[in-house]
Structure 1
Amino acid sequence: MKNMNQPILTQVQDRIGTIILNRADKRNALNSEMVEEIKIALSSFSTNPDVKVVIIKAEGPAFCAGADLGYLQQLQSNTYDENLEDSRNLKDLFYQIYTFPKVVIAQIQGHALAGGCGLATVCDFSFAVEEAKFGYTEVKIGFIPAIVKVFLLRKIGEGKAKQLLLDGDLITAQEAKEMGLINWVVKSDELEEKVNSYAQKLIRQNSGQSMRLTKEMIALVQEKSLVDGLDYAAQMNARARGTEDCQKGIAAFLNKEKLTW
């Protein structure tokens, strides 16, 4: 666990790497330092053999309120090139999570707004409490939800994405689930247990290598034509057959042996 004054905290336990947003007094609003620290933590977890699943959660009543207001004021005096560099920093974080070689779960204990909603969007799975609200409010302050839009269109489709991005209103956790923005809505006193239980299920039951390759394919196949996508899938299928995990899994299945990954 890192120093409590840090923008994030990290820990590794039971094959789970946890990133804790630690700016509760700022509703865990994103600034350049927090974004950079999350990226560093993810890079560390990506090569850590003791980490098979990553959980992103937060301190305080809010999951993440988007960009820090003081930070936004500072950006107004930046040049275009300075703002572009900063924007690319957030883009790199979202892309890192989306293409991360291990499953990433968002544990959402409070509101996830604007960039905070984007952070939840790019995670593979998300659990939220019933009281949490979600939304992309950028259009209400003359800004645009530019980066997250790329991922949101993939996740929930154009129609629902337009409703969220052009309307700008907040929605409930249940509405977010119905739109496909999040996966599960749970009671607040069950959130921690439900997330950890699901993470442990993935850890025990599934090959880490198989989950990595499946995530990779989901990210890449959508940009290919039908013919190219199928050819890519056939190549990945053949590649997977030769892996140690596949050979181990098939042998255990044929021999009716219990397999724990």
Structure 2
Amino acid sequence: MAFSFLQYTVSDRVATIALNRPEKRNALNGLLVAELREAFRVAAADDAVKVVVLKGNGEAFCAGADLEYLQQLQQNTYDENLTDSRELMQLFREIYELDKIVIAQVEGHAVAGGCGLVTLCDLSYAVPSALLGYTEVKIGFIPALVAVFLVRKIGEGRSRELLLTGKLVTAEKAATDGLITGVIPAGEIAAHVAKVAASLCTEASANSLKVTKKLIGTVLDLPLQDGLLHAAELNAATRGHEDCKRGIAAFLNKEKLIW
């Protein structure tokens, strides 16, 4: 499938979505948001895809909103801005709720909306030189949509520090705070992400990954007892799934199962 602002490829059950506006530091605008939504829809519908890797071409992962795009938004009415904001909202939610695992490969700075994309990924690895943060308050804007997900991911206290100060932090600090999964040397990150993606493809059941991701995303919204009951129901349903039957049989027979 041809895109104007990103590249989409599939190999060995891994779809790679690469932001491809290097001359603009992969900055977001309405068209890129629309293409990202379409790329994730394609990955979601493709049974041959089990894992999605999100990365940026060039020096930056994503520099946030495009300056020309921001200038355009200043001319919009409230209703036009609400419609536009809801497009980004839908993208964020679609990544967060995707039935497949999403890995961010961060080889450059991830700022504002770019850091928002990293926040939504299930796993994320960054090079040591990458800076990450939400700078919206420094230009009179707010990190509204990402705040909903960031608080869930790293807690209120650390979210307040990042969102209110608008400061950029090192990859090491981001990893310590739980914003990203790990820091990997620049010369090794592509191979590391490929290895993680391959292990998910071959060593874990697609159904188990899907159900576990959904459970993680919903359990915080439920009271303790409701959460436990929901978990018990998922547990019971999964025991009857073909993947579970295959997995247990292979374990009992001491066979190595390739998923």
TM-score range, shorter chain: over 0.9
Counterpart Cα distance in 2 of 1:83 and 1:182: 30
Counterpart Cα distance in 1 of 2:211 and 2:184: 29
Counterpart Cα distance in 2 of 1:221 and 1:129: 31
Q: Deviations 1:219-257 (Å, cap 9, x if unpaired)?
A: 111101111111111111111011010011011111111
User: What percent of counterpart residues are identical?
Assistant: 55
> Structure 2: which amino acid aligns with 1:219?
G
- SS across alignment from 2:249: helix
Counterpart Cα distance in 2 of 1:183 and 1:215: 16
- SS across alignment from 1:57: strand
Q: Provide the alpha-carbon RMSD of the alignment.
A: 0.8
- Selected match of 2:233 from 232, 235, 238: 235
In the other structure, the counterpart of 1:67 is 65
Q: Deviations 1:7-63 (Å, cap 9, x if unpaired)?
A: 011000011001010001110001111111111111111121211100001111000
In the other structure, the counterpart of 1:107 is 105
- SS across alignment from 1:134: strand
> Structure 1: which amino acid aligns with 2:86?
R
TM-score, reference length from structure 2: 0.99
Counterpart Cα distance in 1 of 2:60 and 2:25: 5
Counterpart Cα distance in 1 of 2:215 and 2:133: 28
- Selected match of 1:130 from 123, 128, 131: 128
Q: Deviations 1:125-180 (Å, cap 9, x if unpaired)?
A: 00100100001101111100000000000000000000000011110000100000
Counterpart Cα distance in 2 of 1:87 and 1:211: 30
- Selected match of 1:152 from 129, 145, 150: 150
In the other structure, the counterpart of 1:50 is 48
In the other structure, the counterpart of 1:19 is 17
In the other structure, the counterpart of 1:180 is 178
> Structure 2: which amino acid aligns with 1:7?
F
Counterpart Cα distance in 2 of 1:226 and 1:245: 28
What is the CA distance between 1:115 and its match in structure 2? 0.3
In the other structure, the counterpart of 2:139 is 141
Q: Deviations 1:174-230 (Å, cap 9, x if unpaired)?
A: 010000000110111111101001100111100011000001111111101111111
What is the CA distance between 1:2 and its match in structure 2? 3.5
Counterpart Cα distance in 2 of 1:30 and 1:149: 18
Counterpart Cα distance in 2 of 1:227 and 1:176: 33
- SS across alignment from 1:188: coil
- SS across alignment from 1:153: helix
Counterpart Cα distance in 2 of 1:183 and 1:210: 21
Q: Gapped runs of 5+ residues in structure 2? A: none
In the other structure, the counterpart of 1:86 is 84
What is the CA distance between 1:68 and its match in structure 2? 0.5
Counterpart Cα distance in 1 of 2:255 and 2:129: 43
In the other structure, the counterpart of 1:253 is 251
Counterpart Cα distance in 2 of 1:128 and 1:94: 20
Q: Gapped runs of 5+ residues in structure 1? A: none
Runs of 4+ aligned structure 1 residues displaced above 4 Å come to: none
Q: 1:119 and 2:117 equivalent?
A: yes
Counterpart Cα distance in 2 of 1:163 and 1:122: 19
